[in-house]
Amino acid sequence: MSSREHLVFDGCDTVELANTFGTPLYVLSETAIRERCHEVKEDFLHKYPNTKAVYASKAFLTMAMAKIIASEGLGLDVVSGGEIYTAYRAGFPMERTVFHGNNKTLEELQLALETGVGRIVADSESEIDIIEEAARRRGKKAILLLRVAPGVDAETHKYIATGHTTSKFGFSLAGDTLLRTIRRIMASDLLELKGFHSHVGSQLQSNRSHVLAVDALVNEMNLMFKQLGFVTEELNIGGGFGVPQHQGDTRTTLKYFIDPIMSHVTTECEKAGLVRPMIIIEPGRWIVSEAGITLYRVGSIKDVPGGITYVGVDGGMTDNPRPALYGAQYWGVVANKADEPAEKKVTVVGKCCESGDVLMREVFVANTISRDDILAVFNTGAYNFSMASNYNRIPRAAVVLVRNGESHVIVNRQSYDDLLLGEGIPQHLL
């Protein structure tokens, strides 16, 4: 883990990375990403026939990441025109993409059809109109899944629970809206329905919610077959597989989630007299979260009444808003003093003009932590870069991909001039 008292990450000295590329700095391990992709293939794709895995790109997407996912043979889940365009420009096989979203625009749908997106996940009855219009304009048939809310309350933060009956996502299983929508799609020359999609929530530590969702999904498949003769060819059960949230937590294997799901869906389909459809999963955070760290340079160190020591770093909620949004917890190490005992309790804060800009509360670091030290925060590969902002006019951090001692910049650090791109001053103000 450490060499010459420095933290080493995928063969690279993190202090050298910080000094070379500046801070804050996102660092992604290509080796770790590929190891997770291999686990997906070994414990799901190769183990169970008629399956597919699609990386949820909202967790972290750059053109380089799209290339890695493509080379591993996985698909890509996209949720916006920007993510579609990133995948397309990276040369990703667009037939392996799945386009989600609860409010897709006509322009995004046209882009999806133009670039050859493989599946569009329709989220509501009203969205069928705009999908059909996009297909008409492009002269292409839209291949669909319908997102349904299975009515399962996931054991996670309420902001990232998505499968309950009042979720903004998907068709409710109550009433006849889903039945009416499927009937309409089956009668359309511009639309083709392959099956259903569901997602019960994110950062789940238990497999219970996924297993419960299977019951509702198979029941709906059975109802649609009996009432409309519709055969479900594909069933996307989403992702949300959790990663460690605290230092020392055990990593949850993919098998912990997948094996009960596959066993249950197979049994329930047999009971209903249905042929098991293709099962699709969408791991995102689970693939990339632990593959990333963020490097900061320590600035102010302040002792305040109440026994609190604040350690200020040169980043904060602009490069990691999750502690402020969800109460997410992180841990780290002083990278240039990685061998020293971590016995000093501190609260690490960012530089934004917000009292809530706290990255880590009451964590233990090296006793001799001081200005200009490099602080490495672990488990930041997911939803840090992708949720970053320019609040307080702070430039966004660079991203470096490391592999076996080699490092490559895959996203340049923003300059102050970059912050002004697209801005103008009206003539009357000059």
Nearest to 237 by CA among 259, 266, 261: 261
Q: Under a CB-based contact definition with an 8 Å cutoff, are residues 197 and 220 in contact?
A: no
Strands 191-197 and 234-236, how do they pair? parallel
Strands 406-411 and 398-403, how do they pair? antiparallel
Helix axis angle for 106-115 and 81-89, nearest 10°, is 20
Interior/surface letters 358-394, b for 16+ CB within 10 angstroms, e for the rest: bbbeebebbeebeeebbbbbbbbbbbbbbbbeeeeeb
Assess whether 12 carries a catalytic annotation.
no
Dihedral, 242, 244, 245, 250 alpha carbons, nearest 10: 120
Strands 234-236 and 278-281, how do they pair? parallel
Catalytic residue among 12, 37, 269, 353: 353
Q: Under a CB-based contact definition with an 8 Å cutoff, are residues 398 and 13 in contact?
A: no
Nearest to 379 by CA among 1, 104, 29, 21: 29
Residues acting as catalytic residues: 353
